[in-house]
Structure 1
Amino acid sequence: MLTRRRLLQRGLTTAAGLTLSKSVPAMQQAMASPAQVRSGVKLTRYVDPLPIPPVIRATDKPGEVIDIEMRQFQQKVHRDLPPTTVWGYNGTWPGPTIEAQSGEPLSINWISKLPTTHLLPIDHSIHGAEASLPAVRNVAHLHGACAMPDDDGYPEAWFTAQGEHGPHGAKFNPLPSSYPNCQPATTLWYHDHCLGITRLNVYAGLSGFYLIRDEAEKSFTLPQGDYEIPLMLQDRLFHHDGSLYYPKVVNGPKEHPIWIQEFYGDMNCVNGKVMPFLEVEPRKYRFRIVNASNSRFYHLRLFNSDATGKAIDDSFDVPAFQQIGTDGGFLPAPLELRYLLIAPAERFDIVIDFTGSEGKSFSLNNDAPAPYNMGGQYVPEDVMLFKVTKPLSGKDSSTLPEALLPFEPLNPTYTTRDRQLLVSEKERPSDGYVITGLLGNARWHEPITEDPKAGSTEIWSFINITADVHPLHVHLVQFQVLNRQTFDVQTYQQTGKLVFTGRPMAPESNERPAHKDTVKSYPGMVTRIIARFDLPHGAKVSPGDELLYVWHCHILEHEDNEMMRPYKVIV
C-alpha cells in the first residue's frame, strides 16, 4: 500500500496542473538551505476544538467607524502548552472576521496598543528595519481590496502607539482607513504590512478575515451561518514554555546576520490552534480558507481516519473539495478537486459535503515540500480533523449550484502594454545561500519603473530565474492568469533574450477563469497575468495624480528583504 506521503507526492503535478521545473541552473546550490529547525516540542494532535474568530458585521452599524485595536495578550494554542504571548487585532489570533456589504463603504480605525519591545528578534541590517526606527510599528493592509493608496497599507505608512509615523505618515492617513468595498462577494484578509518587519508582525499574530457579501451571493443557497467557517492556515514553532519560537539564521550571510531565507514551523495551526478538530453534522459546509503562513505552501488532501486522526487507508472514497471561489470571488461554476495546492496569501472558497458520513472522521493532511517545490525543510503533515459526530440539527436545505457567476475575460489587444519583470535572487557564491531577492532587478528604494495609467489594461510577464516558486501579489487589482511558458534560463542570464523551450501552458484548473490577486510564479517559467488598473468607484483624483501602490512576493521573508517594489498608477 502506498504511504500517505507517497500518495500525496504523486498528486503534486495533478494539483498544480503542470510539471514543476527542475531545469533552473544552480538548483543544487539553491537547495543548500540551513538545516531543518525543530522545536523539540511534541504535542498530541486533534485534542482541541477549532476556534471560530468573532465576527464584526459592518451592516449592523452602517456609517459608523469601527475601532480595531492591536494588542499583546496570551492565548492557549494547545491543551498541553502554557498560554502563548501573541499579538492580535481586538485581542484574538486571528483577529475578528469583518463582514462588509458590497457597495457600502466601511471605515476602520486601526489602533495600536502594543508595547514598545518586539516579541521577536529584528535584523536591523534589513532595509526598513534600521535600529534608528521604533522596534514596534504597524500598518494594516486589506489584502485583495480595491482601495485608495492612503488606505492600502503602504509599507512606509507605519505608525506606533506613541504617535510616531513613517516617512509617508504625512501623506498617508493612519486613521481611519476607508474601504469602498466596490467588489463582488469575496474572501479577503487583513494583515500587517510594515516595511522590513512584516514577517515578524504577522508571525506574532496580526491577521484576520474580511468577507465582502452581495446580492448575488444571497441568491445562492450555499451553506451559511454555523455552516460557513473560516480556516486560517499558519505554521509555527513553539518553545516548551508556550512562547513563539522564530529562529535566527546559523552561518548566514554577513549582510543579514539574523534574517532567514524562509520560515517553516513544525506545527500547523488553524485559527490560532495547533492541529484542532471540528465536529460537524452530516451535511454540507462552506469553508473560507486562507494560507496566512510566512513561507509554507500547502498541498492538502482528505483521508479516511479513525477518531484519533490516524489514516485508515489511502482511498479516495472521501468527500471531495468543491471549490466555488478564489482570491477575487466566485468561479463561473464549482470545480471538483481531490487536492488543494495553496500558496501563501491565496484564498480558496470550498464546499465539503459530509452527508452520509455519520460517525466517520476525515483528517486534512499536507505534503507540500518546503521550500516548494524543492524540499529540505520539515513538513508537518497533520493540519486538522473533521469528525462527523454531531447530529443533524435539521434538514440541509443548502445546495451547490451548477453555475455561479459569469466571467468576463480581459482580452489583450495590440495596444496592451506587456511588461517583462524579472524575478531573481542574489546568492552567496560559496554555497548558493540566498542573500536577497529582487523584482524587476531593482531594490525597494530605487526609481519606480511600473507606471500604468488609471483604467488601462496591461500584461505583466514574470520571468522567474530562481529555484523558488514565488507567490506574487499585486495591490489594488484583481488580475487574470493568461498562461505559463518554460524558457532557457541560462540563455536569458547570459544574453537577456527569452528563448522559449515549450508552448504556453494554460493556467491551473482553478485559475481558469478566475479573478486573482496572488499568483504562483514557477521557476524557469514566464508567468503572464493581465490586469485593468481601475481605481475605486468615485475616486476623487485629478489629472496628473500619481497614486502609489506595491507589488511583491508573499513569502514574507522575501518581501521583507527587497522582494517588493512600489508602482504608481497615473491618472
Structure 2
Amino acid sequence: MLKKFVDPLPIMKTMRPAGCLHGVPYFSVTMKQTFQKLHRDLPPTKVWGYNGQYPGPTFHVWKHHPIHVLWKNDLPERHFLPIDTTVHGAEKSQPEVRTVVHLHGGVTPDTSDGYPEAWFTRHFKKAGPYFSHRMYTYPNHQDASNLWYHDHAMGITRLNIYAGLSGMYIVHDENEARLNLPCGPFDLPLIIQDRSFRADGSLFYPSRPAQPQTAPTPSVIPDFYGDTILVNGKVWPYLNVEPRKYRFRVLNGSNARIYSFSLSNGAPFIQIGTDQGLLETPVRVPALVLAPAERADVIIDFSTCYGKTIILENDFETKGEKADPETTGTIMQFRVNEKLSCGDHSSIPGWLAPVPKFTHVDRTRSLKLNMRKDSYGRNIHLLDDHLWSDPVTEVPKLGQTEVWSIVNETEAIHPIHLHLVRFQILDRQPFDVDVFKQEGKIILTGPRAAPDLNERGWKDTVRSRPGEVTRIMMRFGPYPGLFVWHCHILEHEDYEMMRPYFIRT
C-alpha cells in the first residue's frame, strides 16, 4: 500500500510554439519513452509521454486562432504492454508501436482528426517505409472548452493511453475572459486516471482475462480497473490551497473507471461547464459523476476552510462493489494552509453562456449497443451489431440535424463519444430489454427523464445507461468527411465498439 498525500500535485507545463508557419503558430511534439517518479516510494516508472512528459504539456489556445502541430513518434520499436494480435488492426503483420493523435472534442477536418487507421510509427528498417510524423491543423473555431488530446491507434488505444499518451487542450474565448472566474494559479486542470503497479514501479496491465480459459495470451480484457489513483501523473497527491475560490478543469482520463466525486467536508462543487463549454448558469453539484473522457469545469470555494484538510473522494460502485476508501475511494487531498497571496476578487456569475436549443430535426436514427461472443468465447461489444470492418451505415448530410436514440441492451454503462460534433442530451427512458432482444421492439416502461442540470450544456460524450434509450441531438459539420463514433471504455473501443461514419456533402 502506497502512502497517500506525500507528493504535491504536479501542474503540467504549458506547450510553447516552436515558431510560425505562414503566420500560424506551429508546435512540435515528440512522443518519447521516459522514466518518471509517480510516487515518492516507487522507483521511476517507464511511461510514454508527449515531449517525454506524462501527462503531456497543456495547450492553451484561443477561439478562431488556428495552430499547426507536428506530431512525431520517437517511441521504441517494441511495446512494453501486452498486445493481443487477434484484435482488428493489431495483427502480427502490423508494427507493434503505432500512434495517431486525436484531439478529443476538437472541431477539426477529418485530415487532422486522428482517424484510428491513420497511424504512424518510427522509421525502423525492419518495419518498412512507415511515416514517423503527421502535421495536423486545429482551426479552434469553437467556444471556450476543456478538450484533451490522446492516442487513438487502431487496436492498441487502451495500451497507448495507459502508457501515458494523454494531455489537456484548453480553448479560451472573450466571453469566458469577461466572466471574472478564478484564473492564473487558481485555475488548474486535474487529469484523473487509475493505474496498477508492480513492486519495481513498473505499470501492470493484465495480459489476459480470468475468463474464458480459451482466451489467447496476450488477450484483450473486458475492461481495466487499477487499484491506485493518479492525478496529473502523481499517486494520491496533495495540493496546498489558499482560502479562496479555485477553478478545476476535471477530466476522467481512465480506461474504464467511472467516478462519483465528492468533497469530504460536504461542500458542493459549483459546476460551470461540461465537455464542450460553459453551461448557461452554474449548478450546485453535491456529487459529480464522470465516465471515461467526460469533463467537468467546476469551482470549489475554500474561503471558509482555512486550516482544514479536505479529501476529494469517489464512491461510485464498480461492478456492484463500492469503492474502497483505502484505495480507489480516495482521489487527492486539499490542504487549506496557504495565506491569501492577494484578495479574491473572482466571482461566480449567475449567467455564463448561451446554450441555444435546436429548432428542427432532419432525421432520427435508432442505434443499439449490444454484445456477442467471439471464437474464443470472449464478449465483443458492438455498435448496432456491426464490426468496424462492416460497410459504413451512418451517412448524415453536412449541415443536417439528427436525433440518435441509443438503445443500450447490455448490462454496462457505455460512454458514447462522437468525433467532430457537439450534441445536447434530450432525455433518457427505460425500456423492456427482454422484449427488445427477442423481438427487436422497443417497449418503453417509464417516462422520459430530462438530463441532470449539469448535463444541460454542450457534450461530446454521453453516459448510455443499461436498459435505457438515451436520445442526443446534433448538427453534423462544419466539415464533411470520414469520422468515428465509439464507446470510450478503451477496452471496448479497441475491440469492435467503434464505427466509422461519413458526413456527405
User: Shorter-normalised TM-score: what interval?
Assistant: over 0.9
**Whose RCO is larger (CA < 8 A, sep 6+)?**
1
Q: Secondary structure at the match of 2:371?
A: strand
Give the superposed CA RMSD: 2.2
The percent of aligned pairs where both chains have the same amino acid is 48
Is 2:425 the counterpart of 1:481? yes
2:56 is paired with a residue of what secondary structure? coil
Which residue in the other structure is 1:550 paired with?
484
User: 2:91 aligns to what?
Assistant: 130
Q: Are positions 1:343 and 2:291 aligned together?
A: yes
Amino acid at match of 1:485: Q
Question: Which residue of structure 2 lines up, in the alignment, with residue 112 of structure 1?
Answer: 73
CA deviation profile, 1:214-262 (whole Å, cap 9, x unmatched): 1111111111111100000000000111000001223336355421100
Q: What is the distance in 1 between the residues matched to 2:431 and 2:468?
A: 6
Give 1:180 deviation, angstroms: 0.6
Secondary structure of the residue aligned to 2:24 is coil
Name the structure 2 match of 1:439.
383
2:498 is equivalent to residue 498 of structure 1? no
Secondary structure class of the residue paired with 1:98: strand
Match of 1:353 in 2: 301
Structure 2 equivalent of residue 420 of structure 1: 366
By how many angstroms is 1:55 displaced? 0.5
Q: 2:405 aligned to 458, 461, 471, which one?
A: 461
Counterpart of 2:117 in structure 1 is 156
- Specify the code of the residue in structure 1 equivalent to 2:30: E
Please, which of 259, 270, 274 is the counterpart of residue 235 of structure 2? 274
2:143 aligned with 1:184? yes
Residue 400 (structure 1) aligns with: 348
Choose the corresponding residue for 2:212, options 252, 266, 284: 252
Indicate if the aligned counterparts of 2:374 and 2:380 stay in contact, CA closer than 8 A.
Answer: no
Structure 1 segment 187-226 matched on structure 2, within 5 A = 187-226=146-185
Q: Distance in 2 between matches of 1:325 and 1:244?
A: 33
For 2:15, the equivalent position in structure 1 comes to: 56
Question: Counterparts of 1:533 and 1:58 in 2: how far apart (Å)?
Answer: 31
SS at match of 1:56: coil
Matched, 1:45 2:4: yes
Q: Distance in 1 between matches of 2:155 and 2:163?
A: 14
Q: Within 2, Cα distance between the matches of 1:477 and 1:247?
A: 34
Q: CA deviation at 1:411?
A: 3.2
Name the SS for the 2:403 alignment partner.
strand
Q: Are the equivalent residues in 1 in contact too, given 2:281–2:351 (CA < 8 A)?
A: yes
Does the CA contact (< 8 Å) of 2:48 and 2:165 recur in 1?
A: yes
Tell me how far 1:377 sits from its aligned partner: 8.5
Q: Secondary structure at the match of 1:295?
A: coil
1:287 counterpart = 2:248: yes
Alpha-carbon distance change, 370 to 532 in structure 1, aligned in 2, over 3 angstroms: same
What stretches of structure 1 of length at least 5 have no aligned partner?
1-41, 305-315, 537-545
For 2:459, give the aligned amino acid: K
Q: Report Cα offsets for 1:119-172 as digits up to 9, x if no partner.
A: 1010111111101110101000000011111100000000001179x9xx89xx
Counterpart of 1:510 in 2: which secondary structure? helix
* Aligned residues of 2:197 and 2:203 also touching (Cα < 8 A): yes
Distance 1:253 1:181, change over 3 A: farther
Q: Distance in 1 between matches of 2:466 and 2:428?
A: 11
Deviations 1:175-205 (A, max 9, x none): 2100110001000000000010000000000
Q: Structure 2: any 5+ residue segments left out of the alignment? A: none
1:364 aligned counterpart, secondary structure: strand
Match of 1:103 among 64, 83, 92: 64
Check conservation: 2:151, 2:165, Cα contact below 8 A.
yes
Residues of 2 paired with 1:471 and 1:174: CA distance?
A: 30
TM-score by length of 1: 0.84
Residues 104, 180 of structure 1: 8 Å contact kept: yes
SS of the equivalent of 1:558 reads: helix
User: For 1:16-27, what aligned pairs fall within 5 Å after superposition?
Assistant: none
Question: How far 1:58 sits from its partner (Å)?
Answer: 5.7
**DSSP 3-state at the match of 2:185:** helix
Deviations 1:376-427 (A, max 9, x none): 89761110000001111011111111110122011344xx211110101125
Give the TM-score taking structure 2 as reference length: 0.95
Q: How many correspondences in the alignment?
A: 498
2:405 is paired with a residue whose SS is strand
Structure 1 residue 92 corresponds to structure 2 residue 53: yes
AA partner of residue 503 (structure 2): V
TM-superposed deviation, 1:503: 1.2
SS in 1 for 2:15: strand
Tell me what 2:467 maps to: 524
CA distance in 1, matches of 2:115, 2:438: 35
- Residues of 2 paired with 1:59 and 1:217: CA distance? 27
Q: Cα gap change, 1:338/1:84 in structure 2, threshold over 3 Å: closer, same or farther?
A: same
Task: Compute the displacement of 1:59 (Å).
Answer: 12
The CA distance in 1 between the partners of 2:176 and 2:382, in whole Å, is: 40
> Residue 565 of structure 1 aligns to which amino acid in structure 2?
R
Aligned with 2:335 (options 374, 379, 387): 387
Larger mean Cα displacement after TM superposition, 379-388 or 477-486 = 379-388
Mean Cα displacement is larger for which, 467-476 or 123-132? 123-132
Secondary structure at the counterpart of residue 202 of structure 1 = helix
Residues in 1 aligned to 2:169 and 2:481: alpha-carbon distance in whole angstroms: 24
CA distance in 1, matches of 2:146, 2:15: 15
Shift of 1:60: 9.2
Say whether the 8 Å CA contact 1:126–1:256 is kept in structure 2: no
Q: Which of 316, 334, 341 is residue 368 of structure 1 equivalent to?
A: 316
Q: Is the 8 A contact 2:426 2:473 kept in 1?
A: yes
Q: Distance in 1 between matches of 2:82 and 2:375?
A: 27
Which residue number in structure 1 is paired with residue 451 of structure 2?
507
For the 8 Å contact 1:444–1:565, the answer to whether it is kept is yes
Cα–Cα, structure 1 residues 377 and 547, in superposed 2: closer, same or farther, change >3 Å? same
Q: Does the aligned pair in 2 maintain the 1:58–1:100 contact within 8 Å?
A: no
Q: Report whether the alignment pairs 1:472 with 2:431.
A: no
2:18–2:26 contact (8 Å) kept in structure 1: no
Q: Once the 2 structures are TM-superposed, how far is the Cα of residue 534 of structure 1 from its aligned partner? A: 1.6
Of 463, 467, 476, which residue of structure 2 is paired with 1:533?
476
